[in-house]
Amino acid sequence: MTLAVDGYVTRVTSPPIIIDRPDPVVWSRSGDPEVQRFAERGYVQREGAMDAGRVDACLEELHRIGADPAMAADPRVIREAGSDAVRSIFDVHTLSEVVWEAVEHSGAVDLAREILGSDVYVHQSRLNYKPGFAGGAFYWHSDFETWHAEDGMPRPRACSASLALTRNEVYNGPLMIMPGTQKYFVQCAGETPEDYYKESLVATAPSVGVPSEEHISELYRSHGLDVLTGGAGSMTVFDCNTLHASGGNISPVPRANVFIVFNSVENGLADPFAGTPPRPDFLARR
Ligand code: 6CS
Ligand code: FE
């Protein structure tokens, strides 16, 4: 009998370490310069992936869904801690045809296929809505660390497309990425509490599933940090294991992005590696 060894042990009770990623970042033999850049830096950006008409239509849809009384108690709508303000809406690609059409036109699916070297499916989608004055932060994390531990994603063979529905400026809480960190796996300490997602999706400083301050500082010193600004309609595609975060938004300029996560069809979900029950479908399609 052969026992599969988990190459991405995390949620440890011993001191966490940084390991080299045992799997590739790009899973095809593509020689495309954009794909090469993705392999090196863990992300690529394109301006104009959505035209102004689609951007406006998506924004309108998302305001409609956020204000819809029928969605008021829907678990897919996540609100900021201590207020009614919408923080995220999950499953936006199924809640809104307009959003899905915009994704289809953006070029994200083809790029994801080229990076992941196979056909893909949507693992998760969300709108992150950071209104002016009141937008909350997202602490440093690797998405794959969460998806591996809490959703049973076997390998980092997934990538996210972030479509900007507003300008992303340095001052309205844009994505910050440590380029090159996709090549490591940063273990995180702590046992995963039951229904932890109810806390982690809201907390600006989650207690579990985040790297240590020592590791974040070390990677900052060796890799630096890119602030991903861009116009409305721009697209960022980043590797599922790149270390990233975003600050709060106290500027008067809102910052709204749609995230679509593509997973390889050859990387379907198993049981969560943290040993916890699977999270709801709207967080992790099975
Ligand atoms: O728990 C999750 O799946 C989500 N949480 C964060 C902070 N980023 C990725 C993902 O959308
Ligand atoms: Fe993330």
Per-residue pLDDT of the chain (286 residues; tens, 9 = 90+): 556 789 999 999 999 999 999 999 999 999 999 999 999 999 999 999 999 999 999 999 989 999 999 999 999 999 988 888 889 999 999 999 999 999 999 999 999 999 999 999 999 999 998 999 989 899 999 999 999 999 999 999 999 999 999 999 999 999 999 999 999 999 999 999 999 999 999 988 888 999 999 999 999 999 999 999 999 999 999 999 999 999 999 999 999 999 999 999 999 999 999 999 999 999 999 9
Q: Is the CB of 153 under 6 A from ligand 1?
A: no
Residues paired with residue 131 on neighbouring β-strands, in sequence order: none
CA-proximal residue: ligand 1, atom 9 (nearest): 143
Specify whether the CB–CB gap between 140 and 132 falls below 8 A. Answer: no
Instruction: Assign 163 to helix, strand or coil.
Output: strand
Kindly state the tokens that stand for 5. 């060894």
- Cα 143 to middle of ligand 2, angstroms: 5
CB-based contacts of 140, cutoff 8 Å, min separation 6: 210, 211, 216, 243, 244, 245
What's the pLDDT score for residue 85? 86
Tell me the C-alpha to C-alpha distance, in Å, between residue 74 and each of 124, 223, 277: 16, 40, 21
- Cα 1 to middle of ligand 2, angstroms: 37
Q: What is the pTM of this model?
A: 0.96
CA atoms in the 13 A half-sphere facing the CB of 199 = 10
Kindly state the tokens that stand for 139. 């602490």
Q: Is the CB of 146 under 6 A from ligand 1?
A: yes
Q: Is the CB of 145 under 6 A from ligand 1?
A: no
The span from the CA of 143 to the CA of 176, in Å, is 14
List domains and CATH numbers for the chain: 38-68+77-264 (2.60.120.620)
